[in-house]
């Protein structure tokens, strides 16, 4: 698949991880909570943590889905978590986040 668009050209354009766009003016603010202690959870998707000071992860654990917001040192980040959702809601939120509609 090729694209004829030739915008850009900052080095990070080659980054394989998603970079979030600026927040939309009608952005919906999520409530971010201190981390709950999930015994185990899986990270299913994530945004770029190499070129961004704040990054996000879509997680599933204990039968619920949530988004983690990470910031600071990638080796020892500050972590906050969204509400827990069912899968469909969580995936919608994740897409909205990637498009700058939710943050
Ligand atoms: Zn990147």
**pLDDT-above-70 percentage for the chain:** 85
Q: In Å, how far from its chain's centre is CA 79?
A: 12
Exposure of 66 by Cβ count < 10 A (0-12 exposed, 13-18 middle, 19+ buried)? buried
Q: Determine the average pLDDT of the residues in 80-94.
A: 96
Cα 75 to ligand 1 centre (Å): 16
pLDDT in tens, 38-78: 678 999 999 999 999 999 999 999 889 999 999 998 888 99
Return the pLDDT at 40: 86
What is the signed CA dihedral for 80, 83, 88, 94, rounded to 10 degrees? -30
**Rounded distance, CA 63 to CA 75, Å?**
27
Return the pLDDT at 81: 95
Cα 63 to ligand 1 centre (Å): 30
Cα 97 to ligand 1 centre (Å): 16
Cα 72 to ligand 1 centre (Å): 15
Return the pLDDT at 14: 80
Q: Reply yes or no on whether the pLDDT at 13 is more than 70.
A: no
Q: What are the backbone dihedrals phi and psi of residue 8, each rounded to the nearest 5 degrees, phi first?
A: 100, -150
Q: What is the pTM of this model?
A: 0.82
**Rounded distance, CA 13 to CA 34, Å?**
33
Q: Reply yes or no on whether the pLDDT at 100 is more than 90.
A: yes
Question: What are 33's two structure tokens?
Answer: 């909570």
Cα 103 to ligand 1 centre (Å): 18
Residue extents of the structural domains in the chain: 31-98
């Amino acid at each position: 698949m090729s694209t004829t668009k030739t915008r850009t050209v900052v080095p990070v354009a080659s980054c394989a991880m998603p970079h979030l766009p600026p927040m939309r003016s009608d952005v919906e603010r999520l409530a971010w909570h201190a981390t709950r202690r999930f015994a185990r959870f899986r990270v299913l998707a994530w945004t770029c943590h190499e070129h961004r000071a704040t990054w996000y992860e879509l997680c599933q654990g204990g039968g619920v889905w949530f988004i983690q917001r990470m910031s600071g040192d990638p080796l020892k980040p500050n972590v906050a978590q969204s509400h827990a959702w069912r899968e469909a809601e969580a995936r919608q939120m994740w897409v909205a986040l990637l498009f700058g509609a939710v943050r």
